[in-house]
Amino acid sequence: MDLSVLQIFVEVMRQGSFAAVARDRDIDPSSVSRTIAGLEKELGIRLFQRTTRRLSPTEAGTAYFERVEPLIEEMQQAIDRAI
């Protein structure tokens, strides 16, 4: 699993939108969607409930976020301190 995949997942959870994350990263929303779909496949769980109007985290998605977010923050702090 690539760290950037987890970073994208955390950003989507925080912003609640593939499009917002795509804008911030200057990539296509479909790239964000594919990244999340790949993560869901790798984990064997659905992280988000998708509708035409909304993106909502599943219970499993919320639980995963609660475990992953602190790790991503710690990794970012380590990178910031090293620079």
Q: Which domains does the chain have, with CATH numbers?
A: 3-82 (1.10.10.10)
Residues 10, 67: contact at Cβ < 8 Å?
Answer: no
Average pLDDT estimate for 44-66:
95
For 10-46, how does the pLDDT look when each residue is reduced to its tens digit (9 = 90+)? 999 999 999 999 999 999 999 999 999 999 999 999 9
The percent of residues in the chain predicted with pLDDT above 70, rounded, is 100
**Rounded-to-integer distance, Cα 13 and Cα 57, Å:** 7
Confidence of residue 56 (pLDDT cuts 50, 70, 90): very high
Structure tokens at 70: 């602190």
Would you call 50 helix, strand, or coil by DSSP?
A: strand
The runs of H, that is alpha helices, within the chain are 3-15, 18-25, 29-43, 59-82
pTM of the model: 0.91
- β partners of residue 55: 50
**Rounded-to-integer distance, Cα 29 and Cα 36, Å:** 11
The answer on pLDDT for 51 being more than 90 is: no
